[in-house]
Amino acid sequence: MRNVRKILIVVLIAFLFAGGTAYAKDPAVKFGRGVTNFILSPAEIIYQPIKLSKTENALVAWFGGIPKGILYFPYRAGVGLYDAATFFIPYPEHYEPLLEPETLVEGFKDLNTI
């Protein structure tokens, strides 16, 4: 049972890094993007205040960004589930992402935080 857990953790980490690529051109990348978005969806609560702090003062960023992150959290999780469940269907056209940034990995990179 412990070996199964270790293998599952390694596979999930691999999917996490697979989702960090440019927009999906094949089903495997769409699946990886979906798993990544689902796993990282709680990070919206951190990402949105940081993103808002680039254009607003700190108080506006915190008091506006945290509620926005709380609202985006289930949205990103739902889009992640959709991508993972429908990875074999080329919709939207050419497996394009439904969200921008495609995953929060790209979002944090764009903000120069990682």
In this predicted structure, the answer to whether residue 83 has a pLDDT above a threshold of 80 is: yes
Amino acid at 58: A
pLDDT at residue 21 in the model: 44
Inter-residue contact 57 to 43 (CB < 8 Å): no
Confidence of residue 79 (pLDDT cuts 50, 70, 90): very high
Confidence of residue 113 (pLDDT cuts 50, 70, 90): low
Inter-residue contact 25 to 95 (CB < 8 Å): yes
Reported as a single tens digit per residue, the pLDDT across 22-77 is 455 789 999 999 999 999 999 999 999 999 999 999 999 999 999 999 999 999 99
Mean pLDDT of 8-15: 55
Report the candidate in 94, 98, 53, 107 with the shortest Cα–Cα distance to residue 75.
98
Buried b (16+ CB within 10 A) or exposed e, 27-41: eebbbbbbbbbbbbb
Report the candidate in 84, 82, 75 with the shortest Cα–Cα distance to residue 104.
75
Output the CA–CA distances (angstroms, integers) from residue 74 to 23, 28, 57, 68, in the order listed. 21, 23, 26, 11
pTM: 0.73
